[in-house]
Amino acid sequence: MRPLRAFLMGLKALCHKDQRNRDLDEELSGYIEAAAQEKMRGGMNHEEALSAARAEMGTMETVKQQVRSSGWESLAESIWQDIRYGLRQLIHSPGFTVTAVLTLALGIGANTAIFTLMHAVMLKQLPIANPHQLYRVGEGEYYCCEWGGLEGSWGTFDYPFYKHLRDTNPSFEQLAAFSGGTTSFNIRRAGSSGSAQTAGGEYVSGNYFATLGIQASLGRLIHPSDDQSEAAAVAVMSYRTWKEKYGADPAIVGTTISLDGQPVTLIGIAPEGFFGDRLSAYPPELWIPLSQEPAFEGNGQKSILNSSGDAWLYVTGRLKQGAVPAQVQAQLTTDIQHWLQSERKLNKDDLADLPKQHIQLTPGGTGISSFRSSSKNGLYLLSAASALVLLIACANLANLLLARSTARQHQTALRLSLGASRARLIRAVLTESVLLSAIGGLAGLLLAYLGTRAILLIVFRGATYVPVHATPSLPIFAFALLLSVLTGVIFGIAPAWIGTHADPSKGLRAASRSATHHSAKPQKILIILQAALSIILLAVAGLVTQSLRNLEKTDLGFQTQGRLLASISFKAAGYKPEQLPARYEELQHRLELIPGVRSASLSLNSPQNLCCVNLGVTIGGRTDKWIEDVNIVYNRVSPHYFQTLGTPLLRGRAITDQDTQASQHVAVVDESFARTFFPGEDAIGKRFGMSLPGHGYDYQIIGIVRDAKYKNPSITASPTMFLPFTQTTQFGPSGYQRLETGTLYAQSIQLSVTGAPEGYEKPLINALASVDPNLSVVRVITYSEQIATQFNQERLIARLTGLFSLLALVLASIGLYGVTAYNVTRRVNEIGTRMALGASRGNIVSMVLRGAFSQVAIGICIGLPLAILIGRYLAHQLYAVSRFDPLVLGLSAFVLCACALIAGLFPARRAASIEPMEALRIE
């Protein structure tokens, strides 16, 4: 009540300032009058009494000031005064203001843009209820861990272990499982005769939606009762797919749709903002209960639902109130070790590794994002780089403000001597700097929005859906605001402190010359700081760019020009394994008939795309233990595959039409396969097989091809083997049998063409449709574009650090120029005297340049060791970059020196053009 009244009355006083002023005047003159009357009673005459009363009161203005400052509004008023004063100052020096605002906008904009990405990728929670309660059992992302083996730190699990956890672990309220990746389905509305569409579906446990705590936007979501082997087949559709592919037609809910030819009831639509459990450019469009997996995978051995040892499920749960994550983690680790021991047939080596098996509990609220885990380091690097840019910008502005405050020394001294308190003066200067940074921050927000959009376009190049938005949200605004204010204080505090540190008497007596002397030192320190930071940024940008250059220059071992790549799903089109070989042959023949197509091929995987199936092999007659520990990349290819990709066949022959089920089972291997297993001998004719007892002679090596990079070049390549689609081996019930049938489905088509590959997209799609209208292409892309998208992140990071270091360089150069030019102006007299005493113009130029260079040199001396240190740390994250790169470091130092030379040359020339007589006359 009382603070409210005080506030209201203060507000009234502010609004009716004139009225209040008049009242106070009247009251005070009344007081003097009354005091005089009193004194006249004591015997004074009117004149004497009045002047005595006035003398007792002091000046009326002082009393009024005292009354005014007894309320809160006086503080508000003086801050408002400071703001108006600050704005006036800024308007009076537009050059300074524009420079400062631009500098700040760039600095704050860069930081805000990077923060927007950080926020979206690493901090933002999934649109689900109480995401902080969600924990994921395990860590990391796996694509290809379907066959057993011990993971060490576990990330994916088989269904039996999930069931065991779900039913026995007491720490979770709910524990859900999902397949993580999506499977392509052919989807068709009941009664529709149009061509089928492809939709990515994710298998989820019945309590998936309940665990995430989300509600259907229409219909209902999957319940635990849907996830039973005898339950009716159901599916839930994503909001985006419903809207974009089905025009948000509410009638579709409850109808039967056909998925890969099987009738499924579409029971509901997921909420609008929900894109699944991860940030992905290809979010799931359908969610299907786990229990239906066998039905879609042919009910036979291909199904992995009930098999033991095939880790394909991600597990996420809601921790119970009061459960301690560290304890739950320990309990899970004990659990998996016991489980492995009792449920799996572990061999001697596995048993030795058992104590190393553990489960990490990771916060699950932000989703499992491959983008996040792979870009985490890059984002940290970028935030550090943008922070450095902002620091350099701060140093620049501090320098500018220092120069200004020196120029205002006289004025400051005058104010101090007139009774202004130093605190008030500091506040005024700080208000001005915070004002500047606030304006800069606003401009920075705009820059950040545009910047983020550009960044997203690069990162998600070629993606149909961008899971990150550039539009600033509340946290982004808060970040920018906080950063602006902080920046303003950081670059304002030193000039405010130094600038108001004037002895009034001295400042008034002397011209500004003597007072300026002591501010030269902080300016020099700031320049040294800028130089040091710039060299660090330049060196880092150099390393990152070098890494990208190395990546792009890597010999991939195949041709990317004139190649077209299509992804396709025969499984979704309803093919049985035995139908496939004939269809492949027909399709390949049909594709090679397209005019301009040199050759066409099909394969399970292709380089830099959909990589890879990894496994181990045995070699007939050899028992060395290390052999089965070698990680082998497994692929199936059609005839003409190597010639279509342009991978040279070094020895022997490639796979042809003559390799059939009835003939000798063959394999083509790459150089590193031959080198690893058959060093110093001819691999052709040798036999090997899957690492199962009795399979060591299954395949005979008929050809050796050059190594090609299937994965990211920065990952060490594994030896690779290629099998024909036409030959299969019986393995009995095991993961290998499922692999054998599963890999019969080609996922990729390659074309080698004459002319621009873009022109062949239509003919390719038409050819597919003419062979089978159900065969829908998931994606067509030229191979060079496919390669380009592989390095999106690396390219982005290299470009941005390059951009940031350029910014830093420009800012530092401007700063150096400003300080040098300012010093020349300050030393006109001294220079004049030197010249009068016989110094040549060359002497003067070298004197000025020496001054500029000495600061940069000190900066380089400080920055280089730091840059080396950072380089050593970064090198292992970069590709083929040495831990100490004298070329990059030397080049960075050289670039900085060159900029220093340019920045110093202009003031030096001006100094040399000083006429001694004129300079001396000024004094």
Partner 1 sequence: MSDKPSDLVQGTLEMLVLKTLALEPMHGFGVALRIEQISSGVFRVNPGSLFPAFNRLERAGRIKAEWRSTENNRRAKYYVLTDSGRKALKEETREWGRQIAAISRILEA
876 binds partner 1 (CB under 8 A): no
Q: Which of 14, 35, 777, 810 binds partner 1 (CB under 8 A)?
A: 35
Q: Which of 11, 14, 28, 875 binds partner 1 (CB under 8 A)?
A: 28
**Residue 55 Cβ vs partner 1, minimum distance, rounded to whole Å:** 12
Q: Which of residues 690-719 bind partner 1 (CB under 8 A)?
A: none
Taken in order 86, 87, 89, 90, the sign of the CA dihedral is positive
**Residue 44 Cβ vs partner 1, minimum distance, rounded to whole Å:** 16
6 binds partner 1 (CB under 8 A): yes
CA distance 311 to 151: 9
Q: Which is nearer to partner 1, 4 or 922 (by Cβ)?
A: 4
DSSP 140: S
Taken in order 229, 234, 239, 242, the sign of the CA dihedral is positive
Backbone dihedral angles phi then psi of residue 269, each to the nearest 5 degrees: -120, 130
CB 684 within 8 A of CB 702: yes
Q: Which of 21, 25, 34, 334 binds partner 1 (CB under 8 A)?
A: 34
Three-class secondary structure assignment of 56-120? HHCCHHHHHHHHHCCCCHHHHHHHHHHHHHHHHHHHHCHHHHHHHHHHHHHHHHHHHHHHHHHHH
* Structure-token pair, residue 206: 């019945």
Q: Which is nearer to partner 1, 75 or 898 (by Cβ)?
A: 75
CB atoms within 10 A of CB 509: 11
DSSP 281: S
Judged by CB under 8 A, the stretch of 18-26, 79-87, 216-224, 554-562 that binds partner 1 is 18-26
57 binds partner 1 (CB under 8 A): yes
Q: Which is nearer to partner 1, 30 or 759 (by Cβ)?
A: 30
DSSP 123: I
Tell me, residue by residue from 61 to 100, as one string, x for binding to partner 1 by CB under 8 A and - for no binding. Answer: -xx--xx-xxx-----------------------------
Contacts of 113 (CB under 8 A, 6+ apart): 386, 447, 448, 451, 452, 455
* Structure-token pair, residue 900: 């220093």
**Residue 60 Cβ vs partner 1, minimum distance, rounded to whole Å:** 9
Q: Which of 38, 555, 629, 830 binds partner 1 (CB under 8 A)?
A: 38
Q: Which is nearer to partner 1, 63 or 458 (by Cβ)?
A: 63
**Residue 53 Cβ vs partner 1, minimum distance, rounded to whole Å:** 9
Q: Which is nearer to partner 1, 39 or 636 (by Cβ)?
A: 39
Three-class secondary structure assignment of 720-785? EEEEECCCCCCCCCCHHHHHHHHCCCCCEEEEEECCCHHHHHHHHHHHHHHHCCCCCEEEEEEHHH
Contacts of 469 (CB under 8 A, 6+ apart): 120
Q: Which of 17, 22, 30, 506 binds partner 1 (CB under 8 A)?
A: 30
**Residue 2 Cβ vs partner 1, minimum distance, rounded to whole Å:** 6
Q: Which of 25, 48, 58, 503 binds partner 1 (CB under 8 A)?
A: 58
250 binds partner 1 (CB under 8 A): no
Alpha-carbon Rg for the chain, nearest whole angstrom, is 38
DSSP letters, 674-723, are HHHHSTTS--TT-EEEESSTT-TTSEEEEEEE-----S-TTSPPPPEEEE
**Residue 68 Cβ vs partner 1, minimum distance, rounded to whole Å:** 8
Q: Which is nearer to partner 1, 58 or 127 (by Cβ)?
A: 58
Q: Which of 17, 21, 22, 27 binds partner 1 (CB under 8 A)?
A: 27
Q: In terms of DSSP bridges, do strands 687-690 and 617-618 run parallel, antiparallel, or are they unpaired? A: antiparallel
Q: Which is nearer to partner 1, 70 or 716 (by Cβ)?
A: 70
**Residue 271 Cβ vs partner 1, minimum distance, rounded to whole Å:** 53
Q: Which is nearer to partner 1, 9 or 902 (by Cβ)?
A: 9
Q: Which is nearer to partner 1, 38 or 555 (by Cβ)?
A: 38
DSSP letters, 542-610, are HHHHHHHHHHHHS--SS--TTEEEEEE-TTTTT--GGGHHHHHHHHHHHHHTSTTEEEEEEES-BTTBS
**Residue 22 Cβ vs partner 1, minimum distance, rounded to whole Å:** 12
**Residue 19 Cβ vs partner 1, minimum distance, rounded to whole Å:** 12
CA distance 783 to 795: 17
CA distance 434 to 492: 8
CB atoms within 10 A of CB 596: 15
**Residue 450 Cβ vs partner 1, minimum distance, rounded to whole Å:** 50
Q: Which is nearer to partner 1, 36 or 537 (by Cβ)?
A: 36
**Residue 8 Cβ vs partner 1, minimum distance, rounded to whole Å:** 9
282 binds partner 1 (CB under 8 A): no
CA distance 403 to 516: 9
Q: Which of residues 133-152 bind partner 1 (CB under 8 A)?
A: none
Judged by CB under 8 A, the stretch of 31-39, 103-111, 142-150, 242-250 that binds partner 1 is 31-39
**Residue 5 Cβ vs partner 1, minimum distance, rounded to whole Å:** 6
23 binds partner 1 (CB under 8 A): yes
CB atoms within 10 A of CB 91: 9
803 binds partner 1 (CB under 8 A): no
Judged by CB under 8 A, the stretch of 35-43, 534-542, 673-681, 883-891 that binds partner 1 is 35-43
Backbone dihedral angles phi then psi of residue 908, each to the nearest 5 degrees: -65, -40
Judged by CB under 8 A, the stretch of 27-35, 368-376, 391-399, 660-668 that binds partner 1 is 27-35
CB 5 within 8 A of CB 48: no
31 binds partner 1 (CB under 8 A): yes
Q: Which of 25, 33, 353, 624 binds partner 1 (CB under 8 A)?
A: 33
Number of residues interacting with partner 1: please give it, by CB under 8 A: 26
CB 291 within 8 A of CB 305: yes
Q: Which is nearer to partner 1, 66 or 770 (by Cβ)?
A: 66
CA distance 140 to 369: 9
Nearest to 458 by CA among 348, 380, 382: 382
**Residue 17 Cβ vs partner 1, minimum distance, rounded to whole Å:** 14
CB atoms within 10 A of CB 59: 9
210 binds partner 1 (CB under 8 A): no
Q: Which residues bind partner 1 (CB under 8 A)?
A: 2, 5-6, 9-10, 23-24, 26-28, 30-31, 33-35, 37-38, 57-58, 62-63, 66-67, 69-71
